[in-house]
Amino acid sequence: MFPSTPLLDKIQYELGAQEPWPKDVKLYQPYEVEQILLPDNANCLAVQAFLRMCNLNFEIVSKANAEFMSPSGKVPFIRCGAFVISELEPIVQFVNTKGISLTSELENDQKCDIRAYMSLVHNVLENAELYLCWCDKETYNEVTKPRNGSVYPWPLNHLQNWTKRSHVIKRLKMMGWYSKTMDQVYHEVENCCQALADRLDGKEFFFGKKYTELDALLYGHIYSILESRNAKLIAILQKNKNLLTHSQLIHRHIMQKHFDDKLLQRLKSDHRKIKTRNIKTKAKEVEKRSHIETNKNIRRNQTIENTLTETEIDSLSDVDSGDLSDY
Amino acid sequence: MGIVHAKEKKHGLASPNINYDDCDSVESREINLEGVRARVDRIHINGLARTKDDYVKGVVQDLFDANDFQDVLLKAHTVRNKLNSMGCFQNIGVFIDTSKGPKATPDGLEITFYVRELKRVVGGINTQVGDNEGSLVIGLRAPNMFGRGERIQTEFSYGSKNTNNFNLSFVKPFTGRHNPVFSTSVYQANSEWPSSGYKQVDLGFILDYGINSWPLIRHNFQWDVAVRDLSVLTKGSSFAIREESGSSLKSALRHIFSIDVRDDNIFPSCGSLFKFTTEAAGAGGDVGFVKNDVFLQTNLSLIGDCVLQTSANAGILNSLGNDWKLGLMDMYYLGGPLSLRGFRMRGVGPHSEGDALGSTWFWASGLHLFTPLPFRPGKGGFGELFRTHLFVNAGNIGNFEGDEDFMEKVKTNIRVAYGIGVAMRLGQMARIEINYCFPHSFQETDLSQPGVQFGIGVHFL
Amino acid sequence: MELILWAGDFGLISLNLDCIRVTAYARLTKAPVKIKYCRNPYCTYPVLQHESRYVYNYTEIVKHLEKLSYVLDDKLDEKQYGESYVLINMLTLHLNPVLEYLFWQNETNYETLVRKWYSQVIPIPFINLIYPSRRRKLAHEFFDTLFPHQDREAIEITLLKGVQECITCLTTRLGESSYFHGNSYTSIDVAVYSYLALITEIPLPNNPFANLIRGFENLSTFIKRFNCDVFPDVQYDSKYVCRFFGSKIKTNEDDDLSTSLTMKVVIVSAALCGMFFYALSKNIINLTKLNSFIVIDDK
């Protein structure tokens, strides 16, 4: 939520600026399939999208204790040489020191707009997601508890759920969200989406044809909300169709391409391994894994396509892909 | 008030009559106590309130076996010590008199123990400073709660950096031939390891059952369950340490086997200590390993007050497999003033960016020559608190990996350091050492510390 | 209608953020409210009492006032409305923790001003000592969860950065004009004033944020102008603490020296007495021996 980099790091950033983007950058996040929660997933997707937008290579590492490894206690974080940086804003700053920026051509007031709208997303969507996950009884019992506790043995899982919940509640209390009811939270999300939709208007991205970190952040949140299958939130999103098309666009042209390539590669290599080793159990495991991944990817596609009507998808295809490949 | 009567015993010879009242007279006489026949008729214990009779009975029973007066005196002394070690009484006085009354035997004695019980609740508040942190420690103790030596102890320390530690324990000794003691405790402990770049918070629970299988052989069976929360100490800690942060749950069964026949804890002059610990984690929780540690110390008295001490310490840790976690706190570390002198704390073995990572096996050994201070200042008094020592330490540490022969690995790259120093006794438990060390052979990755090294602790190599 | 507010001081109508916002809102819409102060820290503020009905919370009160057709943002078009909404959210996100930090987390501020102020304001003894320390503990917990494993300095730098970004946005947005939207104050002006005034107006001894904000001239003049336009009746003074706080600073050093000598004597003699009586009670000093010693002396 807040960029957490003290002065010393600032100096370190500047020292590190001379070096180019290394090859072995790793992005750490919790397990996507069984562990990650809605707010974390949103932030992870946002950082992934941002790095892909910048055409920077990185490897995703799933770790059960990613949250505890992170210097700010929040996921995701990247490890780039000697630097460990967490959360979107500091990562954006760090990338900027390498001379890579998505916003270099923007005016000052537009940069201000980015900051303001990103704050909006953090303040409303992130807090609403946290509220939904930890304070809504039904979601907490059915989704949050089993998922957050999945990586711990009994009875540590209950202890972890309990401590995490009390932390989140403390934070929401101070930000004035804990006293809200669920309906007020939904209402707040509605306002936020309305404001974002108004800003987006009919444009492809927030600042015309060029995407920025704001687009990445919004994509992360919208996409993980769609994945979470929370009917109420999705209904709110559907009222603002242009937000969905916006996410769909980013997904197709930035994330999807990468997912497809990677999946194909991995499946191929896995099959080769199976053939050579001929180990039955291993084959099962790999099949299961690839099954999950393909399923997940199919689901990713489905979730977004379900929410869009056919006509809109057609209108999407009108977007000139030639324009996009320029970036 | 408890009175214990002796059973009637037959007596052969009549013992010589001695006028005990004469003992107080100025004129002194030498009496061979061994020759004085005596028999304990009754034992009084004066001052018992909540302590149950049967609990004290077992302790004093030995006295009835005494045959002569010297025996009575010696046994009375041991009984007094035993009563003292029960932790129920403040001060104990012994009074021996000839037995009177109708049931008195000719050379019968009556022994009276005057005891004063401890208060129901004893407590204290004190402050501690250390590790850049001040803390307030509140301790409460309820000794001898139900009259049979049960006690509850609790200690709570509140640190200025919001590090709260507490320990609540319940101890129940049983009477019996094998001295069984049952104890259980719940604790939370914060600890920082700058040499490894991490800090940890433990929240745990221990069940312990101790028993003597032979007079000097002690077995402890323990069940230890702990939630360990590890986090990096500073932002600069290495990534290898960062990768290990998070919570884990350990549930371990432990068996400690120990024989201690030394004549002193701190500066023994003869005798040995042998300790073997087996720990198996994995009965629940997500931490799984089997750990075997052995410690051996032998002392040999040479000419005068010179003592030659050899000690050896080794450990092996086996993981239960990839599905199980193995925390940094479970690993072995070597180096520091308490283990391998001449090296920094945890300075031997694999490191990552200056942070010790720990290993799965180690061994260390030491050869010490303890002598009194040169020219023996303060002989028989203050000077006895000090010893000078010459030492040679050797050790090795490493991980099981690759196909290399294990024995070969153990034998290569042995670290050796020697030196000279002064050791000081600190009460009955701890000692302080100031040494001048010369690391003799070490690896490039090791952090050696030639020169003066200061150490304070309980267990030294 | 009656508006119940938390106590104010230092030229601010109240020291509670939402209280300032609500009062400014009511004054700008010319809603006929009577202001009443309450000094019970455990109430939620602000409270609007209207015909035996109580309305709590800024958003609810604004809703209630709008129902009574006291509307502030009626002149805004949709885009401006959206923009206000976004800016207000940015302010809450970045400045809420700053307020929390300034009053409760910062050691110097808490010890020299905040604790004293609260102990003077809250009329009930004991509560006036318990409340600030409990409130402070809450703030500590909040920062521990928000910035785990970080020291105060790092937190301050992070917050400063957030404020810097936020303020830059506001100055660019405000520019040379007097109002954020159009020719009159709207809810965004109210929010900006409430936050910035709370940060800058209170004479906290350690306040890097205020200096940062004062560096932007258009914002400082904005605060002053808003103060004159909306709260002309509130004069700068220090009702509770500053008078004795200020006088204390002057005499502090002299007092320290003069009291220290007498205090030293008192403390040392008290300690000696204590030691003497302890020794007597433990029979370390034998009184009879002492007596005989004195008697011999007399002879």
CB contact under 8 A, B243 and A152: no
Q: Which residue has the higher pLDDT, B405 or C21?
A: C21
Shared domain for B204 and B58, answered yes or no, is no
Q: Across the 327 residues of chain A, what is the mean pLDDT of every consecutive 10-residue run? A: 47 61 91 91 93 90 91 89 89 89 86 90 93 92 92 91 92 87 92 90 85 92 89 90 89 76 61 47 50 53 50 41 38
Domains observed in chain C: 2-67 (3.40.30), 78-242 (1.20.1050.10), 243-298 (no CATH)
Q: Is residue B17 part of a domain?
A: yes
Q: Is residue A265 part of a domain?
A: no
Q: Mean of the pLDDT values across residues B279-288?
A: 90
Check if A158 contacts C (Cβ < 8 Å).
Answer: no
CB contact under 8 A, C149 and B231: yes
Q: How far is Cα B355 from Cα B351, in angstroms, rounded to an integer?
A: 5
Check if A6 contacts C (Cβ < 8 Å).
Answer: yes
Q: Is residue B142 part of a domain?
A: no
Burial of residue A9, with CB atoms counted within 10 A of its CB: 0-12 exposed, 13-18 middle, 19 or more buried: buried
| CB contacts < 8 A (A, C) | 95
**According to the model, what pLDDT value does residue B207 have?**
96
Q: Is residue B231 part of a domain?
A: yes
Look at the block and give the residue holding tokens 């929780």.
B285
Q: Is residue B136 part of a domain?
A: no
**According to the model, what pLDDT value does residue B132 have?**
66
Domain end, chosen from B94, B117, B140, is at: B117
Task: Print the domain residue range for A62.
Answer: 7-97
**According to the model, what pLDDT value does residue B160 have?**
77
Shared domain for B211 and B331, answered yes or no, is yes
- Chain C residues close to A6, C-beta within 8 Å: 153-154, 157-158
pTM of the shown model: 0.79
Interface test with B, best of A69, A80, A85, A148 (most B CBs within 10 A): A69
Per the structure, the count of domains in chain A is 1
Check if C285 contacts A (Cβ < 8 Å).
Answer: no
Q: Which of A253-257, B360-364, C44-48, C185-189 has the lowest mean pLDDT?
A: A253-257
Task: Print the domain residue range for B204.
Answer: 174-457
CATH number at residue A14: 3.40.30.10
Side-chain half-sphere exposure of A274, counting CA atoms within 13 A: 15
Interface of B with C in 156-185 (CB under 8 A): 162
Shared domain for B282 and B363, answered yes or no, is yes
Domain end, chosen from B117, B134, B151, is at: B117
**According to the model, what pLDDT value does residue B291 have?**
94
Q: Is residue A11 part of a domain?
A: yes
**According to the model, what pLDDT value does residue A296 have?**
55
Burial A53-84 (b: 16+ CB within 10 A, else e): bbebebeeebbbbbbbbbbbbbbbbbbbeebb
Chains near C with 3+ CB pairs less than 8 A apart are A, B
Q: Is residue B289 part of a domain?
A: yes
- How large is the ipTM? 0.77
Shared domain for B274 and B373, answered yes or no, is yes
For residue range C211-239, what is the model confidence (pLDDT) as tens digits?
888 888 888 899 889 888 888 887 777 76
CB contact under 8 A, B162 and C140: yes
| Cβ neighbour number for residue A284 with a 10 Å cutoff | 11
CB contact under 8 A, C147 and A123: no
For residue range B111-164, what is the model confidence (pLDDT) as tens digits?
898 988 888 888 888 887 766 678 888 999 998 888 888 899 999 988 877 778
**According to the model, what pLDDT value does residue A310 have?**
40
For residue range C142-195, what is the model confidence (pLDDT) as tens digits?
888 888 777 788 888 889 988 998 898 888 888 888 888 888 888 899 999 999
Q: Is residue A288 part of a domain?
A: no
Asked if B122 contacts B143 with a C-beta cutoff of 8 angstroms, the reply is yes
For residue range B48-76, what is the model confidence (pLDDT) as tens digits?
888 888 888 878 888 888 888 888 888 88
CB contact under 8 A, C173 and A112: yes
Q: Is residue A37 part of a domain?
A: yes
Asked if B353 contacts B238 with a C-beta cutoff of 8 angstroms, the reply is yes
For residue range B308-331, what is the model confidence (pLDDT) as tens digits?
999 999 999 998 888 888 888 999
Shared domain for B71 and B182, answered yes or no, is no
Check if C74 contacts A (Cβ < 8 Å).
Answer: no
Q: Is residue B53 part of a domain?
A: yes
Q: Is residue A62 part of a domain?
A: yes
Shared domain for B296 and B406, answered yes or no, is yes
Per the structure, the count of domains in chain B is 2
Q: Is residue B278 part of a domain?
A: yes
Shared domain for B240 and B343, answered yes or no, is yes
**According to the model, what pLDDT value does residue C178 have?**
85
User: What does the H/E/C string look like for C176-232?
Assistant: CCCCCCCCCCCHHHHHHHHHHHHHHHCCCCCCHHHHHHHCCHHHHHHHHHHHHHHCC
Instruction: Closest CB to A156: pick one of B227, B230, B243.
Output: B227
Instruction: Closest CB to B285: pick one of A68, A153, A160.
Output: A153
Q: Is residue A237 part of a domain?
A: no
Domain end, chosen from B100, B117, B134, is at: B117
Q: Is residue A104 part of a domain?
A: no
The alpha-carbon radius of gyration of chain A (Å, integer) is 20
Determine the residue of chain B that is closest to C148 in CA distance. Answer: B231
Residue B434 has pLDDT above 90, yes or no: yes
Chains near A with 3+ CB pairs less than 8 A apart are B, C
Shared domain for B276 and B357, answered yes or no, is yes
Q: Which of A155-169, B22-36, B410-424 has the lowest mean pLDDT?
A: B22-36
Determine the residue of chain B that is closest to C141 in CA distance. Answer: B162
> pLDDT confidence of B89, banded at 50, 70, 90?
confident
